[in-house]
């Protein structure tokens, strides 16, 4: 296994390094390195929030009503309900990064990063609304009722409708190819690797049964994922509709308990977050650094602007694309505004006041230590949450990757089975490989899709604005 890991690392390292340097090209602002792809996504989120007239506020309650089934139409085309479409998309964004990513952002950017990730989550709601409206509007529905949708389809459609089909097809294929490659790392091997690592912690370390049998753990995880994904999006959505509320509730309740137990530090947490956000009590880069790291963590978590969620939302049962655009804005709200903010408060109320920050602990280990301060058995809770997060994320990304694969090679039973077997095999590999080069490569492939996707969102913005405004007006008058 070590030889296999070394072979893959040796092959991918130079490619990953070159690709990452291009995709994550940075400029220095006030001593802080700013990845241009983050600025590109953050700028888009701000523009769409203003341009769409703060649809993230105006459409919020209407979105909630759709999720609870107030406007369900059993005769509409599609495969899954508004609730299950949202649950599937959330399962792809709420992952192990929600547990440990915030701790890293605050460690580097200071407490102010917590404030800015909240702001970024709020702005990202508008980006989700526009891309998921387009996902439904330009989806394709086969004779068997199966739905295919996502950025590759609305990129293709935009240029085809303007007599430039080759440009549209090329951009669609570029997006799909990058997504197929990227999903095998970020939404697959990274998830199984982190779930395995947490299980090793609570089962006796590297000498324990799981620690000594990484392939067995990976095979079990792959088998469970495979049992779900082979059933298609209906099966994935059905499982996500159960797992997402459970895993989110378990983690949220745990966060609230830890924060409540450290209630005396809540004023400090709020004061330090706001003060550092605007340059007071600054750490790396002052307020600018806090803003950059906060936005980066939020955008990397909720994936607004990458277009991936529109693939899941495209399968919704509705004839009104704007209805799902509204539902989609709840995704960053849950993933970022709620879950990441609570993770931040755990760090600010418990980890920092008790001297845990700045030592050897980082990422998920720091979050786990903050939980352990009040809950002695919390490593098991974190391990359970990490496993559920990894499992649900793999479910969603298997569907994203398969849809992109079908766009590239067409729909067919053998072609679908081939991709699913490759995806499940990578889950096993994630438990036994050193992932640095793999992740650098796949992260670069994932975030490069933000370039064509955001271009499409800008081009379609006037049309989506009209549809969203008309739909909101017709349901609030």
Contact 25, 38 (CB under 8 A): no
pLDDT value, residue 247: 82
pLDDT value, residue 14: 62
Contact 330, 336 (CB under 8 A): no
pLDDT value, residue 251: 85
Residues 6 or more apart from 100 whose CB is under 8 A from it?
362, 363, 364, 365, 366, 367
Rounded Cα gap, residues 419 and 417, in angstroms = 5
Q: Hey, what domains does the chain have and what are their CATH numbers?
A: 2-476 (1.10.4160)
Residues 6 or more apart from 195 whose CB is under 8 A from it?
96, 221, 386, 387, 389, 390, 391
- Encoded tokens for 349: 């109320």
Q: Is the dihedral of CA 35, 335, 255, 288 positive or negative?
A: positive
Q: Which residue has the tokens 């799902």?
A: 324
Q: Which of 246, 310, 285 is nearest to 112 (CA)?
A: 285
pLDDT value, residue 287: 62
Contact 174, 408 (CB under 8 A): no
Q: Which residues pair with 316 in a beta bridge?
A: 80
pLDDT value, residue 323: 94
CB-facing half-sphere around the CA of 258: CA atoms within 13 A? 31
Rounded (5°) CA angle 251-257-262: 130
Which DSSP string do the residues of 405-420 spell out, in sequence order?
HHHHH---HHHHHHHH
Residue 32, SS3 per DSSP: strand
Which DSSP string do the residues of 67-113 spell out, in sequence order?
HTTTT--TTSSSSB-HHHHHHHHHHHHSSTHHHHHHHHHHHHH-THH
Rounded Cα gap, residues 173 and 168, in angstroms = 9
Segment holding 141, helix H or strand E: strand 140-141
Q: Which residue has the tokens 């298609």?
A: 232
Q: What is the CA radius of gyration of the chain?
A: 21
Rounded Cα gap, residues 389 and 374, in angstroms = 22
Mean pLDDT score of the chain = 84
Q: Which residue has the tokens 């005769």?
A: 75
Residue 446, SS3 per DSSP: helix
Digit-coded pLDDT (tens) for 414-445 = 999 999 999 999 888 888 876 565 666 666 77
Digit-coded pLDDT (tens) for 247-263 = 888 888 989 999 999 99
Rounded Cα gap, residues 265 and 277, in angstroms = 18
pLDDT value, residue 362: 63
Rounded Cα gap, residues 247 and 260, in angstroms = 20
pLDDT value, residue 284: 47
Over the chain (477 residues), what is each successive 10-residue block's mean pLDDT?
A: 57 59 66 77 93 95 92 87 90 75 78 88 94 94 85 93 91 92 83 81 77 86 88 83 85 91 91 79 58 78 88 92 94 91 90 75 74 83 80 89 93 90 89 67 76 92 95 84
């Amino acid at each position: 296994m070590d030889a296999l890991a070394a072979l893959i690392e040796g092959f991918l390292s130079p490619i990953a390094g070159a690709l990452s340097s291009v995709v994550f090209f940075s400029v220095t602002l006030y001593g802080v390195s700013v990845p241009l792809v983050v600025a590109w996504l953050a700028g888009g989120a701000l523009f769409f929030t203003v341009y769409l007239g703060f649809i993230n506020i105006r459409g919020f309650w209407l979105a909630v009503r759709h999720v609870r089934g107030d406007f369900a139409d059993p005769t509409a085309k599609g495969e899954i309900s508004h609730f299950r479409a949202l649950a599937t998309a959330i399962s792809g964004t709420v992952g192990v990064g929600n547990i440990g990513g915030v701790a890293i952002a605050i460690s580097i950017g200071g407490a102010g990063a917590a404030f800015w990730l909240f702001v970024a989550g709020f702005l990202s709601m508008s980006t989700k609304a526009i891309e998921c409206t387009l996902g439904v509007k330009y989806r394709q529905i086969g004779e068997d009722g199966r739905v295919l949708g996502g950025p590759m389809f609305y990129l293709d459609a935009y240029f085809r409708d303007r007599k430039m089909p080759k440009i549209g097809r090329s951009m669609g294929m570029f997006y799909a190819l990058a997504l197929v490659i990227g999903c095998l790392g970020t939404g697959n091997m990274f998830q199984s690797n982190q779930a395995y690592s947490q299980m090793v912690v609570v089962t006796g370390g590297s000498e324990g049964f799981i620690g000594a049998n990484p392939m067995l753990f990976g095979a079990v995880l792959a088998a469970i994922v495979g049992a779900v994904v082979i059933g298609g999006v209906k099966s994935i959505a059905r499982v996500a509709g159960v797992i997402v509320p459970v895993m989110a509730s378990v983690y949220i309740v745990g966060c609230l308990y830890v924060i409540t137990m450290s209630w005396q530090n809540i004023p400090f947490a709020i004061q330090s977050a706001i003060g550092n956000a605007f340059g007071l009590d600054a750490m790396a880069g002052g307020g600018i650094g806090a803003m950059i790291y906060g936005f980066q963590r939020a955008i990397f978590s909720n994936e607004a602007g990458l277009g991936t969620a529109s693939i899941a939302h495209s399968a919704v049962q509705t004839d009104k694309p704007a209805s799902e655009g509204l539902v989609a804005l709840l995704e960053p709200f849950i993933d970022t505004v709620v879950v990441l903010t609570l993770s931040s408060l755990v760090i600010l109320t418990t980890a920092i006041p008790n001297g845990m920050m700045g030592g050897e602990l980082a990422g998920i280990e720091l979050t786990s230590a903050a939980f352990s301060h009040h809950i002695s058995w919390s490593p098991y809770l974190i391990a359970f949450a990490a496993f559920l997060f990894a499992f649900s994320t793999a479910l969603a990304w298997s569907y994203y990757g398969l849809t992109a694969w079908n766009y590239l090679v067409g729909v067919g039973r053998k072609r679908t089975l081939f991709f699913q077997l490759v995806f499940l095999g990578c889950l096993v590999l994630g438990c036994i490989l050193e992932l640095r080069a793999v992740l650098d490569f796949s992260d670069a492939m994932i975030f490069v899709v933000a370039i064509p996707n955001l271009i499409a969102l800008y081009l379609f913005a006037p049309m989506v604005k009209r549809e969203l405004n008309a739909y909101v007006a017709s349901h609030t008058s």
